[in-house]
Structure 1
Amino acid sequence: MEEHYYVSVDIGSSSVKTIVGEKFHNGINVIGTGQTYTSGIKNGLIDDFDLAKQAVKDTIKKASIASGVDIKEVFLKLPIVATEVYDETNEIEFYEDTELSGTHIETVLEGIRDKNDVEETEVVDTFPIRFVVDGDNEVSDPKELIARHSLKVEAGVIAIQKSILVNLIKCVESCGVDVLDVYSDAYNYGSVLTPTEKELGAVVIDIGQDLTQIAFYERGELVDADSIEMAGRDITDDVAQGLNTSFDTAEKVKHQYGHAFYNSASDQDVFTVEQIDSDEDAQFTQKDLADIIEARVEEIFFNVFDILQELGLTKVNGGFVVTGGSANLLGVRELLQDMVNEKVRIHTPSQMGIRKPEFSSAISTISSSITFDELLDYVTISNHDNEEFEEEVIESEPKEHTEKSGGFDWFKKKPNKQAHEEHVETEQNAADEHVPEEEHHPNHENDQNSDQSHEKDESKFKKLLKSLFD
């Protein structure tokens, strides 16, 4: 990368986002962004190559103008589609005392790629869980230690369908930039969690336009990840059908008046909507709209629960973290909190200029890039050591644990709407006054670090490309 700039490209189902960031002692400073909406992406994958290419090209240009950086190399985010997560080990041997460096770490991690024997898949990320020096010395970072015999790594591995990888790379590189490396959202989501959440066991739920992606972390590491093809577009489709209006109108209504928790929606907030089969507009309340939205968002969460149950996860002690564009809807946190026993929060990036949940993947890709640069010693100063988690955690009032389903401690039976409406007199004030999700606007002041270097002779991804096209 040029100097100390990191550029990430997030090809999402509704838009392509690019972020230009700088690495500082207390995190990442965003110096430029670009976003272009497109219909060329479907379910996180290329649907129309020309439309997708134009969107990528436009958003890179926007980010370049905003940041003043001539963008030539980027880090690419990959969706959790046709993705497998598993563990693997690899070991390299030495025949004399050797001081370990980032090069040795890269070599032992790269060796895992050659062990992939699943046809039509490619290993895109290998992240170390622990290193073992000379057979019995377990360490988290072996750099500068002396190894007399061997260096072994126990690592998590993320593999994706090869055609998906090749087509996404081709689309980006056809815009005149080089893809320096790729990072799966499965790995990226680790940066949206606090250390405590990652240790106790937390679920990240990213509700986008076409996909809802799920990643579970425990004991500080990624355990598994998956996705479902149900998200924001399905919510809008339901609104369009329920209100008898067009998709575009439904999308606007959803963002302006939408609420995902029926019990907190207002029946005093009235709006009019153009009808498909009539010249006269129809009136609806926010509560009418919430009745439609809640049903679909609830279904999305139940699909997430099905995945967690298939993984055998009986406890989510670290809670649930919701992000992605659809997390902007009022009531999403309240609805999920009403369905589970653990805490729930909405994650919004703290950096100035990207304080929207839909930018979580793009900024997390930069975080992943920095993590590996530090591990492999591509930068000279470690600026992440003292980084504090600046996300505001929004929690509901403590609730008594109600009936559980199937032995899963995190799930609780959701009260039905009818029971709520029978007590409408006592709950009227709460229904009339909905409180929007809190936003976090921290002061994010950083001192520029001009001593960084970002020199790579040949990235692991350049090696990957050679193996793909040889």
Structure 2
Amino acid sequence: MPKDFIVAIELGSSKMTGIAGKKNLDGSIQVLACIKEDSSSCIRKGVVYNIDKTAQCLTNIINKMEGQLKTTITQVYVGVGGQSIRSIRNVISKDMNIETPISQEMVIELMDANRNMKYPDQEILDAAVQEYKVDSQYQLDPVGIPCSHIEGNFLNILQRKTFYKNLNSCFEAANINVAEMYLAPLALADSVLTETERRSGCALVDMGADTTTVSVYSKNVLRHLAVIPLGSNNITKDIASLQMEETDAEKMKLKYASAYTDNAEIDNNLKYSIDQDRQIEARKFIEIVEGRLEEIIANVWCQVPEEYCDKLLGGIILTGGGSNMKDIEKAFQNYTHIDKIRIAKFVTQTITSTLSDINAHDGKLNTVLGLLAKGDINCAGDEFDPNGNLFATPKQQQTETFTERRARQAVETPAGVVRTVDEIRRADEEARRQKDEEDRIAREKAEAEERERQRIKKENSIWNKMFKGLKSFGEKVISDEE
């Protein structure tokens, strides 16, 4: 097996997926291993709620991958997504006394001020720059433009602090090093959207098991991001309300469900078999499926900001397992009146593999493949020893690597990268150290200035002038006598 490969993990509501791949010189990626674990008992709506069980699933994935790769895994790339992730707009402004050319330092100051915003019980995962308002003109790059007022327009992506901490905690509990955390919706967008779609305006809809993620792009900039707590499992549960087990309901959904059926084409006498003894009317089944799906589509469309509803020239791009439902494009067209609907069955990168899950091209692995494409640090360690301590050597090696990596400030973090709890802690410590140093320098400067003021004050005092006058007179008298 190759001694250099990338490992990415996606924590989904129905399954947790680990994938390992080698990046080739021509830019293609060879997938070497893909492991899935049932996560329905520890992850809900895309977020961790049982840390211990999630840690066990992660450990199982790592162990199985190391067994297949015959190599230990030192670190992994992780996708951050799920319920409670949302975007909120924010404006930071700065006034200058006189017209001044905008410097890079001024822009960084605005970005820092934005990232230091506090939201109750929320953590800022990322901040997307929308544009800058320089006096009355909007600019993407304001550096060098003279003005007396500048505003930075940002899109802050938030998640509840509890969910964010739980995600970090489960990797710590599993003793797995995190090379980088990425916002899963952004990694997905980079791998399935074309530049034309992002530039001309589009909505990316990732239809998962428990959640549906909506990302709106225009002029190559993320304009809105939201996670809806509805997914294809909701359709399964609705079908199960017809007095059947969810496993049977899932099978019926996969076999019979269609996102759109013309009323004239419905046979009122047709019945679908639940098992050997029971059947349900086709019309009732269709109404249940379409009713829930219409609710999901309505919530998706509500997440598209009003100013972009008529500007989606790139159309709507569907992906994820839920996008495989028959006639899903027609259902979206009927509700949104957007004719341009594309289903992204696979990522845009060149992927090679002998694994059937990868070659299925059904959109289910697009996010984890997008995370894999983001990786640029080797995750391979020593030769795998099935009887040894699985994490002892890699942990020690990676701790040294982490120690060498400087704690990045928020403004230095690349787009889509989510700082870990440890990175935030170290960055805060570094910021406090710098502030303490700045305060010390300022204090010493102030003390020196105060001493200088006292010296000047003393020299200009009446008694000092009288003393100098007497001294000068005495020196003159002595000089005359000589």
State the TM-score, normalized to the length of structure 1.
0.65
Aligned residue identity for 1:348: K
Partner of 2:362: 356
Confirm or deny: 8 A CA contact 2:7 2:75 kept in the other structure: yes
Partner of 2:66: 64
Partner of 1:302: 298
Confirm or deny: 8 A CA contact 1:126 1:155 kept in the other structure: yes
1:35 aligns with 2:36: yes
- TM-superposed deviation, 1:302: 0.8
Whole-angstrom CA distance in 2 between matches of 1:10 and 1:347: 18
Whole-angstrom CA distance in 1 between matches of 2:209 and 2:171: 21
What does 1:45-444 correspond to in 2, within 5 Å? 45-82=47-84, 83-86=86-89, 111=112, 115-126=116-127, 157-191=156-190, 192-242=192-242, 244-263=243-262, 271-274=272-275, 281-284=277-280, 289-309=285-305, 313-339=309-335, 340-350=337-347, 351=351, 352=353, 353-354=357-358, 355-369=361-375
Q: Which moved more, 1:359-368 or 1:13-22?
A: 359-368
Aligned residue identity for 2:8: S
Confirm or deny: 8 A CA contact 2:259 2:328 kept in the other structure: yes
Whole-angstrom CA distance in 1 between matches of 2:261 and 2:33: 38
Q: Residue deviations 1:213-246, cap 9 Å, x none?
A: 111011112111012211112100111123x211
Confirm or deny: 8 A CA contact 1:181 1:459 kept in the other structure: no
Confirm or deny: 8 A CA contact 1:208 1:231 kept in the other structure: yes
Aligned CA distance change for structure 1 residues 269 and 7 (closer, same or farther; 3 Å): farther
- TM-superposed deviation, 1:325: 1.9
Q: Which moved more, 1:227-236 or 1:341-350?
A: 341-350
Confirm or deny: 8 A CA contact 2:215 2:224 kept in the other structure: yes
Q: Percent identity, aligned pairs only?
A: 22
Q: Residue deviations 1:83-109, cap 9 Å, x none?
A: 335468899xxxxxxxxxxxx9xx999
- TM-superposed deviation, 1:16: 0.6
Partner of 2:463: none
Whole-angstrom CA distance in 1 between matches of 2:23 and 2:110: 24
Whole-angstrom CA distance in 2 between matches of 1:331 and 1:3: 44
- TM-superposed deviation, 1:249: 1.0
Q: Bigger radius of gyration, 1 or 2? A: 2
Aligned CA distance change for structure 1 residues 289 and 114 (closer, same or farther; 3 Å): closer
Q: Residue deviations 1:281-322, cap 9 Å, x none?
A: 223476653332122111100111122256763321111111
Whole-angstrom CA distance in 1 between matches of 2:221 and 2:295: 28
Q: Which moved more, 1:332-341 or 1:296-305?
A: 332-341
Confirm or deny: 8 A CA contact 2:3 2:71 kept in the other structure: no
Secondary structure in structure 2 of the residue aligned to 1:249: helix
Q: Which moved more, 1:29-38 or 1:180-189?
A: 180-189
- TM-superposed deviation, 1:166: 1.2
Whole-angstrom CA distance in 2 between matches of 1:271 and 1:236: 15
Q: Which moved more, 1:357-366 or 1:120-129?
A: 120-129
Secondary structure in structure 2 of the residue aligned to 1:203: strand
Aligned CA distance change for structure 1 residues 262 and 44 (closer, same or farther; 3 Å): same
1:464 aligns with 2:424: yes
Secondary structure in structure 2 of the residue aligned to 1:308: coil
State the TM-score, normalized to the length of structure 2.
0.63
Confirm or deny: 8 A CA contact 2:187 2:371 kept in the other structure: yes
Aligned CA distance change for structure 1 residues 108 and 309 (closer, same or farther; 3 Å): closer
1:19 aligns with 2:22: no
Confirm or deny: 8 A CA contact 2:9 2:79 kept in the other structure: yes
Q: Which moved more, 1:173-182 or 1:350-359?
A: 350-359
Aligned Cα RMSD in Å?
A: 4.3
Aligned CA distance change for structure 1 residues 20 and 367 (closer, same or farther; 3 Å): same
Aligned CA distance change for structure 1 residues 177 and 237 (closer, same or farther; 3 Å): same
Whole-angstrom CA distance in 1 between matches of 2:428 and 2:159: 13
Aligned CA distance change for structure 1 residues 113 and 61 (closer, same or farther; 3 Å): farther
Aligned residue identity for 1:239: I
Unmatched runs of 5 consecutive residues or more in structure 2: 95-104, 133-138, 144-151, 379-400, 409-418, 433-482
Aligned CA distance change for structure 1 residues 235 and 284 (closer, same or farther; 3 Å): same
Confirm or deny: 8 A CA contact 1:7 1:75 kept in the other structure: yes
Unmatched runs of 5 consecutive residues or more in structure 1: 92-103, 132-137, 143-152, 275-279, 379-453
Confirm or deny: 8 A CA contact 2:92 2:114 kept in the other structure: no
- TM-superposed deviation, 1:122: 2.9
Partner of 1:100: none
- TM-superposed deviation, 1:154: 8.6
Structure (1/2) with the larger helix percentage: 2
Confirm or deny: 8 A CA contact 2:332 2:338 kept in the other structure: no
Partner of 1:443: none
Aligned CA distance change for structure 1 residues 302 and 114 (closer, same or farther; 3 Å): closer
Whole-angstrom CA distance in 1 between matches of 2:214 and 2:164: 20
Confirm or deny: 8 A CA contact 1:90 1:108 kept in the other structure: no
Aligned CA distance change for structure 1 residues 57 and 341 (closer, same or farther; 3 Å): same
Secondary structure in structure 1 of the residue aligned to 2:364: helix
Confirm or deny: 8 A CA contact 2:9 2:78 kept in the other structure: yes
Higher RCO (C-alpha 8 Å, min separation 6):
2
Aligned CA distance change for structure 1 residues 269 and 63 (closer, same or farther; 3 Å): farther
Whole-angstrom CA distance in 1 between matches of 2:30 and 2:111: 30
Secondary structure in structure 1 of the residue aligned to 2:169: helix
Secondary structure in structure 2 of the residue aligned to 1:358: coil
- TM-superposed deviation, 1:114: 5.3
Partner of 2:471: none
Secondary structure in structure 2 of the residue aligned to 1:70: strand
Aligned CA distance change for structure 1 residues 369 and 286 (closer, same or farther; 3 Å): farther
Secondary structure in structure 1 of the residue aligned to 2:262: helix
Secondary structure in structure 1 of the residue aligned to 2:234: helix
Whole-angstrom CA distance in 1 between matches of 2:283 and 2:327: 12
